[in-house]
Homo-oligomer: A and B are copies of this chain.
Amino acid sequence: MTSSGLHAARARGGNARQLVHELLRARIVGLELQPGTPLSENELAAELGVSRTPVRESLILLAEEGLVDVYPQLGTFVSRLREQDIASAQFVREALELAALRDGVERADQRDILELRALLAAQTDAERRRDPEAFFRLDEEFHARLMAAAGHPEAWSLVHHAKAHLDRARRLSLPLEDQLALLIRQHTDVVDAVEQRDAQGADAALRGHLRQVFADVETVRTRHPQLFGEADTPPRPRPRRESRKRSVDR
């Protein structure tokens, strides 16, 4: 069961809160838990084999990231994909990654280039195996490594947070024809430009790549509109009828 795995991991490493947090985060970003899904503290605690405390603390952290919405005395729900959240995440990601890349063009050494190229090779392999999940992990690692090479490894966590909102939508578009190949090509262009110390080229390549990702979200929006929504009102677990509800705190 899930609980046994959690107990094992708990013995190995971190505390229950971190484990639950990471687990729920992965499930939300991976769309295993779809937007609008109700998350009950009691239910999760029972399912994961821990008490409500670490579950609750995890939900608070997820709420801070914008991945869940907490309505006191009402319930906690996986947040819907909101126009504003996605646009904001895109802005933050662009600003941070492009700023980092400006330093990266100067600071990256041959060792960094080699590691990035190794990740590109692994991505190509994942694409050939038609394994979008593997590609997702490698994509994360690529962008993280890029920021580390630029000398700003800590700022990655912020990009990581922002990226979650984009990935949640983007994931549905990845299995599409030739999508992975296109993204890998764009990654490669970035690395090439960095290796040649071509600041303008690198900037253009990465910007184009990030905009591509943003465009993918739009594609998904038209195909899966039910995942999106402004969500001033809490989603309904299993409703039959509409009812008006005034939102509480921010």
Contact surface of A with B, Cβ cutoff 8 Å: 14-15, 17, 57, 60-61, 64, 72, 84-85, 88, 91-92, 94-96, 98-100, 152, 154-155, 158, 249
Which of B88, B92, B152 is within 8 Å of A91, CB to CB? B152
A92 to chain B, nearest CB (A): 6
- In the complex, what residues of B have CB within 8 A of residue A152's CB? 88, 91
Which of B15, B72, B94, B100 is within 8 Å of A72, CB to CB? B15
Copies in the complex: 2
- In the complex, what residues of B have CB within 8 A of residue A85's CB? 154
A113 to chain B, nearest CB (A): 22
Across the interface, do B99 and A94 meet the contact criterion of CB distance under 8 Å? yes
A68 to chain B, nearest CB (A): 15
Across the interface, do B249 and A14 meet the contact criterion of CB distance under 8 Å? yes
- Which 4 interchain pairs have the tightest Cβ spacing? A95-B99, A88-B154, A95-B95, A95-B96
Across the interface, do A92 and B57 meet the contact criterion of CB distance under 8 Å? no
Across the interface, do B158 and A92 meet the contact criterion of CB distance under 8 Å? yes
Also in contact, A155 and B88, with CB within 8 A (given A95-B95, A99-B95, A99-B99): yes
Cα-based distance from A99 to B90 in the complex (angstroms) = 12
- In the complex, what residues of B have CB within 8 A of residue A14's CB? 249
A/B interface sample: 14 pairs, CB < 8 A: A14-B249, A17-B60, A57-B60, A60-B60, A61-B64, A64-B64, A91-B155, A92-B155, A94-B99, A95-B99, A95-B100, A96-B96, A99-B99, A158-B158
